[in-house]
Structure 1
Amino acid sequence: HILVTLGATVASLSGLYLCLEANLPADISRLGAAVVSGLGFLGAGTIIVTKNYTVKGLTTAAGLWTSGIIGLAVGAGFYEGAVIAALLVLLAETTLGGIVNKIKRDPEFRIEVRYEEKTALDNVLRCCKDLRLSITNLHVVSAADNGKPCYRAYVSLRPRTKLNHEVLFKEIDKTDGILGYAEVDMEDER
């Protein structure tokens, strides 16, 4: 972030220099506008979408963009605004992350369930709802188990309350028609 701020400051000061010191006819806002669009490009490069279609890097992109704008303010001589903005960014970056982590529930997890009949999966899904697990994604594929037709369901779950996964697995053990189950990595695409 420091390099972005420094670069934006130099760009802003360069515009002022061209106008005031070199007596060249220049629009000092043009360099600032170029910095802003460059920051958008730089910020977009920090944003990624994972295999689970979750977006990562938005805070980094916003921080880079904001630090560039702070640099423009410093270069333009608007020191008070730059200091206040920098303090607000520091406050937001240091405190809001902790608040969000306290609010977040247990992380989402995924199970793979192998079964022969649809009623077995229905019973597992009912069990998940009874345990206050939100079903965020369900993907079913046909498979074969020892030559017999069967199905694999990949169920993504988000606990609404604290839950030991073993409680869910004990309930699945009691369900008729289940050939097997396992917790699988959220990044796995099968």
Structure 2
Amino acid sequence: MLAYEVAIRLALAVIVGGLIGYEREFKNRPAGFRTHILVCLGAAVTSMIQLYSIQDATNMIIQHPELQNALKADIGRLGAQVITGVGFLGAGTIIHEKGSVKGLTTAASIWTVACIGLAVGLGYYTLTILATVCVFIVLVFFKTFEAKLFKNINILKIEIQYSNKKNMVEELAQYFDDMGIKVKTIDFSIEDDDENPDYSTAIYTILAPRHIKSNKIVQRLCTFEEIYKANIVE
């Protein structure tokens, strides 16, 4: 495989992973832009390692036909085991805290570095150098790009007073999910409201895409029959 072919495939992996990651990031999912790029990049590195191995085995058989029977083993099995094992290591870097997930990019980078390590061990230096450059660019330079591109998240606190309906929480969860809004926390008030004793009060902390205006969210919430009042908490 020529150097320019490796570069094209790695670049395509970055583009494909970035496109999918953009869609996930836009919908406020935990695994977003850079995470998808790194996972796609690592998978591309792994598949090209397999191609390199097959090519080397074929050339060796051509030069030494007596080795044909000795090279029938699955030459990608060891690499697969390494990648699977590193997956558990990466899982240890993922933290779930108060409705948010942290450490996915770190986990993806660990997995990708493991793939590059396989390339280094097999002596695929062109693949190693180009893949390392790509990962470095993603981690160092794409962070600034990501911050500018996805600086579209508003953190809002909305106070909602609603009637004591059992499935109201589920209806609100479904509404926010349909709007692409992530609920971070829900705080329920245990104090009685003397003016509206039949209503319960909850404060929702949400992560809303910037293109969704806060007043639109409140207006839509007020259309629920069970909701007495909804307003933004400063």
TM (norm. structure 2) is 0.43
CA gap of 1:112–1:97, structure 2 versus 1, over 3 A, is same
Whether the 8 Å contact between 1:142 and 1:149 is mirrored in structure 2 is no
Residue 149 (structure 2) pairs with residue 100 (structure 1): no
Matches of residues 26-41 of structure 1 in structure 2 within 5 Å? 29-41=76-88
Distance 1:85 1:59 in 2: 16
Residue 101 (structure 2) pairs with residue 55 (structure 1): yes
Matches of residues 162-181 of structure 1 in structure 2 within 5 Å? none
Equivalent in 133, 142, 145 of residue 87 of structure 1:
133
Distance 1:180 1:102 in 2: 29
Kindly state the Cα deviation for residue 43 of structure 1 after the two structures are TM-superposed.
1.4
Whether the 8 Å contact between 1:142 and 1:150 is mirrored in structure 2 is no
Kindly state the Cα deviation for residue 100 of structure 1 after the two structures are TM-superposed.
1.4
Q: Aligned partner of 1:34: which letter?
A: Q
Partner of 1:153: 202
Whether the 8 Å contact between 1:114 and 1:181 is mirrored in structure 2 is no
Aligned length: 134
Equivalent in 56, 66, 69 of residue 112 of structure 2:
66
Distance 1:141 1:99 in 2: 38
Distance 2:230 2:145 in 1: 42
Q: Aligned partner of 2:128: which letter?
A: A
Identity of aligned residues (%): 37
Equivalent in 106, 117, 121 of residue 75 of structure 1:
121
Whether the 8 Å contact between 1:113 and 1:152 is mirrored in structure 2 is yes
Distance 2:200 2:180 in 1: 18
Whether the 8 Å contact between 2:158 and 2:231 is mirrored in structure 1 is no
Distance 1:72 1:137 in 2: 38
Distance 1:135 1:43 in 2: 27
Kindly state the Cα deviation for residue 148 of structure 1 after the two structures are TM-superposed.
3.3
Whether the 8 Å contact between 2:158 and 2:230 is mirrored in structure 1 is no
Residue 179 (structure 2) pairs with residue 109 (structure 1): no
Higher helix share: 2
Higher strand share: 1
Kindly state the Cα deviation for residue 96 of structure 1 after the two structures are TM-superposed.
1.6
TM (norm. structure 1) is 0.52
Distance 1:141 1:114 in 2: 10
CA gap of 1:82–1:112, structure 2 versus 1, over 3 A, is same
